[in-house]
């Protein structure tokens, strides 16, 4: 349990920029959902923080890295405030570039599934559980956001383009790279790019995951 320092995949400053960019995009998506639901400025801020930092906080709690980085690094904590402020004033403009946001969100998804897997591995987890925590890092914040805002969690929806699967692939590839001692800036970039591209392609082409065998033609009996 005396873990090494979590690894930095890329050059220190580059990684910080990437981290904060991913956090900013996730936060903007959370703030935008709050605006659509007509939440007030507090709700917008809370949903931005939860969406951006929730996945990493869950991962850090599960691997014993407390207090989580989100609570010790002011950049992590402050970035969602910026995103919430921006969306508070400029939400019509932000709505208009939502397809651009979707692409940036895909970049966050790709980045965090790789970073999350590497951090969990550095804390001594085996490759498969580390990959599971990488996926949690990438999609956990969004799941918390959806639960708080009373949406069906994106990670469970069959009627949306696949979201969790690209993260699963990116995390799996990362775990394999680490296991075979091939993990470095170049291969990490390749894993991020692969998960990112897969998600963007899924969005563009409307890829969906199969529902239960012989049930694909049915519709949900539930309220969704």
Give the interface with its own copies as residue ranges (CB under 8 A).
Answer: 34-44, 46-47, 57, 61-64, 66-68, 71-72, 74, 77, 87-92, 123-126, 128-129, 132-133, 143, 147-150, 152-153, 155-158, 162, 164-165, 168, 208-215, 218-224
Alpha carbon distance 205, 194 (integer Å) = 16
Question: Could you count the other beta carbons within 10 Å of the beta carbon of residue 214?
Answer: 7
Which residues contact residue 145 at a Cβ distance below 8 angstroms, ignoring those fewer than 6 apart? Answer: 30, 33, 47, 50, 51, 54, 151
Residue closer to its own copies (CB basis): 90 or 100: 90
Residue closer to its own copies (CB basis): 113 or 187: 113
Task: State the minimum distance, in angstroms, from the CB of residue 203 to its own copies.
Answer: 16
Q: Provide the 8-state DSSP code for 155.
A: G
Task: State the minimum distance, in angstroms, from the CB of residue 25 to its own copies.
Answer: 19
Alpha carbon distance 110, 199 (integer Å) = 8
Task: State the minimum distance, in angstroms, from the CB of residue 160 to its own copies.
Answer: 9
Task: State the minimum distance, in angstroms, from the CB of residue 215 to its own copies.
Answer: 7
Task: State the minimum distance, in angstroms, from the CB of residue 102 to its own copies.
Answer: 18
Residue closer to its own copies (CB basis): 77 or 194: 77
Alpha carbon distance 170, 131 (integer Å) = 9
Angle at 202 between CA 21 and CA 35, to 5 degrees: 50
Residue closer to its own copies (CB basis): 92 or 186: 92
Q: What are the two backbone dihedrals, phi and then psi, of residue 210, each rounded to the nearest 5 degrees?
A: -65, 145
Q: Which residue has the tokens 């394999």?
A: 176
Which residues contact residue 193 at a Cβ distance below 8 angstroms, ignoring those fewer than 6 apart? Answer: 110
Are the beta carbons of 106 and 203 closer than 8 angstroms? Answer: yes
Task: State the minimum distance, in angstroms, from the CB of residue 49 to its own copies.
Answer: 8
């Amino acid at each position: 349990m005396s873990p090494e320092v979590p690894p930095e995949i890329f050059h220190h400053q580059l990684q910080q920029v990437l981290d904060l960019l991913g956090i900013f995009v996730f936060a903007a998506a959370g703030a935008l959902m709050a605006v659509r639901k007509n939440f007030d400025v507090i709700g917008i801020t809370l949903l931005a923080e939860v969406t951006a930092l929730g996945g990493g906080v869950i991962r850090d709690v599960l691997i014993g890295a407390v207090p989580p980085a989100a609570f010790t690094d002011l950049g992590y904590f402050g970035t969602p405030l910026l995103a919430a402020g921006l969306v508070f004033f400029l939400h019509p403009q932000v709505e208009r570039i939502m397809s651009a946001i979707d692409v940036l969100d895909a970049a966050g998804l790709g980045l965090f599934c790789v970073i999350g897997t590497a951090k969990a591995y550095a804390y001594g987890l085996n490759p498969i559980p580390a990959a599971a925590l990488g996926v949690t890092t990438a999609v956990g914040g969004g799941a918390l956001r959806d639960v708080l805002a009373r949406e069906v969690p994106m990670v469970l929806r069959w009627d949306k383009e696949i979201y969790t699967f690209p993260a699963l692939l990116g995390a799996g590839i990362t775990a394999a790279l680490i296991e075979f001692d091939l993990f470095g800036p170049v291969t990490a970039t390749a894993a991020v790019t692969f998960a990112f591209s897969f998600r963007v392609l899924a969005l563009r082409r409307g890829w969906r995951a199969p529902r239960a065998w012989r049930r694909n033609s049915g519709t949900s009996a539930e309220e969704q």
